Amino acid sequence: MGADNSKIYVTKPYLPALEEFIPYLEDIWAEKWLTNNGKYHQQLELELCKYFGVSHVSLFSNGTLALITALQALRISGEVITTPFSFVATTHSLWWNNIKPVFVDIEPNTFNLDAEKIEEAITPKTTAIMPVHVYGNPANVEKIQVIADNYGLKVIYDAAHAFGVKLSGKSILNFGDMSILSFHATKVYTTFEGGAIISKDEATKKRIDYLKNFGFAGETTIVAPGINAKMNEFQAALGLLQLKHAETAIAKRKEAAAKYRAALSSIDAIELLKESPNVEHSYSYFPITINSEKCGKTRDEVYNILKENNIFTRRYFYPLISNIPIYRGLESAAKGNLPIANAVAEKILCLPIYSDIGDNVDRVIDALTNAIYK
């Protein structure tokens, strides 16, 4: 049998059968209500509230605009403590709001913002903390909330990877003042593009909804300098359909993750993130780190060998946000301030994982094993 030359990517969206989606499209076409808080938009917000066990969901056209709007809605200014180990949208949302990011190093076992180092970064200009649930692994929500309460700070969680994640049986989205989700095509749950803000009360939701619709509070009343960040009816319809299959898709990801973990846990050159027994994961990503000393190859060499075999992993997150030219001039971006984040960024590798990856997991495992030992 010849070699399999098909390409395996780090993630792929789960898409239901087209015939399931067509009735939604026909209905939207017949109604001629394409956007601006249509019936599918309203229905999806309600269904997501039920699914997450939260009170208020505001849908967005993408997760980045949701982050930007969350900061506006809470009137955040000055400085915000955050992590350098994330996708650039986390820090870009601060920049767009003229807020100074203050980077704090990460924990070596979770890659999340190190809650033990937050207090030393607080200044009189600090107004909020923006942690990330990296790869869907919950940040230290209890410790972070204690610090926030002691210093009168807001907490905004970038929960882009945390769809379906639970901590002690409770959705991780219940923590902090707000949580922001991404429904991008690469995520566990997708609306092509899309996102959401989870907020605590009706008044805050109203402000969010005004801001995402140009600031309109009525036909002729504009209460704030808002933007256009609304989710349209096509996205919302796909979201409703996706929600019907969400648990099945997550279950398949769990199977793939278990297979990876069983096969790779005995390889010295590979280090896996430890899993907490009180966390229910949705496995948005499957990260490993490459120990170059034990492997004899760098992470990038392993990455390129896999790529030559049509297995497209991702060095996620690399480069570190604090090393990007627009941010590396910040005092908090100094490499000496962020030793763990810099080390992890040089050895991280996310393996392909998606709901229909199936037996391709075996192909990834074989290729990775060969890349390390040969």
Q: What value does the mean pLDDT take over residues 172-192?
A: 96
Q: Quick one: what percent of the chain has pLDDT higher than 90?
A: 95
Domain 246-373 listed as CATH 3.40.50.300: no
Interval 286-341: pLDDT, tens? 999 999 999 999 999 999 999 999 999 999 999 999 999 999 999 999 999 999 99
Residue 261 has pLDDT above 60, yes or no: yes
Q: How confident is the model at residue 216 (pLDDT cuts 50, 70, 90)?
A: very high
Q: How many residues would you count in the chain?
A: 374
Residue 149 has pLDDT above 60, yes or no: yes
Structure tokens at 179: 């949580």
C-alpha 356 chain-centroid distance: 20
Q: How confident is the model at residue 68 (pLDDT cuts 50, 70, 90)?
A: very high
Structure tokens at 259: 């297979």
For position 274, what pLDDT does the model report? Answer: 87
Cα→Cα distances 268→146, 285, 306, 342, Å: 38, 21, 19, 21
Would you tell me how many other CB atoms lie within 10 Å of the CB of residue 116?
13
Give CA–CA dist 196/214, Å, rounded.
17
Whether omega for the bond prior to residue 319 falls within 30 degrees of 0, making it cis, is: yes
* Nearest residue to 308 (alpha-carbon basis) of 374, 357, 250, 226: 374
Cα→Cα distances 73→76, 77, 193, Å: 8, 11, 22
For position 3, what pLDDT does the model report? Answer: 53
Q: What value does the mean pLDDT take over residues 210-225?
A: 95
Give CA–CA dist 209/203, Å, rounded.
10
* AA identity, residue 100: K
CB distance 222 to 214 below 8 Å: yes
Give CA–CA dist 2/143, Å, rounded.
54
Interval 223-260: pLDDT, tens? 999 999 999 999 999 999 999 999 999 999 999 999 99
Q: How confident is the model at residue 84 (pLDDT cuts 50, 70, 90)?
A: very high
Q: What value does the mean pLDDT take over residues 61-79?
A: 98
Domains 18-242 and 246-373 equal at CATH topology level: no
Residue 124 has pLDDT above 60, yes or no: yes
Give CA–CA dist 348/182, Å, rounded.
22
Would you tell me how many other CB atoms lie within 10 Å of the CB of residue 232?
21
Residue 2 has pLDDT above 50, yes or no: no
Give CA–CA dist 290/96, Å, rounded.
35
Higher pLDDT, 16 or 372: 372
Q: Which residues touch 364 (CB under 8 Å, ≥6 apart)?
A: 8, 260, 306, 311, 351, 352
Would you tell me how many other CB atoms lie within 10 Å of the CB of residue 198?
28
CB distance 320 to 341 below 8 Å: yes
Residue 1 has pLDDT above 60, yes or no: no
Residue 162 has pLDDT above 90, yes or no: yes
For position 275, what pLDDT does the model report? Answer: 87
Q: What is the CATH T-level fold of the domain 18-242, as seen in this structure?
A: Aspartate Aminotransferase; domain 2 (3.40.640)
Structure tokens at 69: 């709007």
Structure tokens at 151: 């210093």
Domain definitions of the chain by residue range: 18-242, 246-373
Helices (H), the chain: 18-31, 39-52, 63-73, 89-96, 141-151, 202-211, 233-264, 292-295, 299-308, 339-345, 360-373
